[in-house]
């Protein structure tokens, strides 16, 4: 008997959903053991995923948690890619006293010193 639900390769779905720039990069992350499907590590890029599966993986400096809403046929525009998943990632908390651009150009030495000091005290807390 065959399973009636459609399936797709994990690396291909991550690439279609535009989480990684290339399919090769998606495959490297999966084979490195950094992707979990429904809480279990996916060992191979060819791991089959289907609608309703929950993926957990690192992207940049965040841990992303997404639920697969649909399987993609192609790597389309960003709006089409965002329709493939439901983002369950917790919103990032803003860093207190984060410097912002206020049109003054590069920070002075005093500003950089104060910024380094505030970062050090934030890490110690």
Radius of gyration of the chain from its Cα atoms, rounded to whole angstroms:
20
**114 close to 121: Cβ distance less than 8 angstroms:** no
- CATH assignment, 8-87: 3.10.290.10
For 30, the enclosing helix (H) or strand (E) is: helix 23-31
Quickly tell me which residue has 């279990």 as its tokens: 40
Quickly tell me which residue has 């060819």 as its tokens: 46
Global pTM value: 0.73
What is the structure's pLDDT at 40? 96
3-state class (DSSP) for residue 58: strand
Cα-flanking dihedrals φ and ψ of residue 56, to 5°? -125, 125
pLDDT tens string, the chain, 125 residues long: the values are 556 789 999 999 999 999 999 999 999 999 999 999 999 999 999 999 999 999 999 998 899 999 999 999 999 999 999 999 999 999 887 766 666 656 677 888 998 898 888 888 777 76
Cα-flanking dihedrals φ and ψ of residue 116, to 5°? -60, -40
């Amino acid at each position: 008997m065959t399973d009636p639900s459609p399936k797709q390769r994990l690396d291909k779905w991550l690439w279609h959903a535009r989480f990684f720039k290339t399919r090769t990069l998606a495959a490297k992350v999966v084979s490195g053991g950094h992707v979990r499907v429904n809480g279990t590590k996916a060992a191979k890029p060819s791991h089959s995923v289907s609608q309703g599966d929950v993926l957990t993986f690192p992207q940049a400096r965040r841990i992303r948690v997404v639920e697969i809403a649909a399987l993609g046929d192609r790597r389309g525009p960003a709006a089409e890619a965002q329709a493939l998943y439901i983002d369950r990632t917790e919103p990032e908390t803003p860093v207190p006293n984060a410097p912002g651009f206020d049109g003054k150009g590069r920070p002075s030495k005093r500003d950089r010193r104060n910024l380094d000091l505030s970062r050090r005290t934030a890490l110690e807390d």
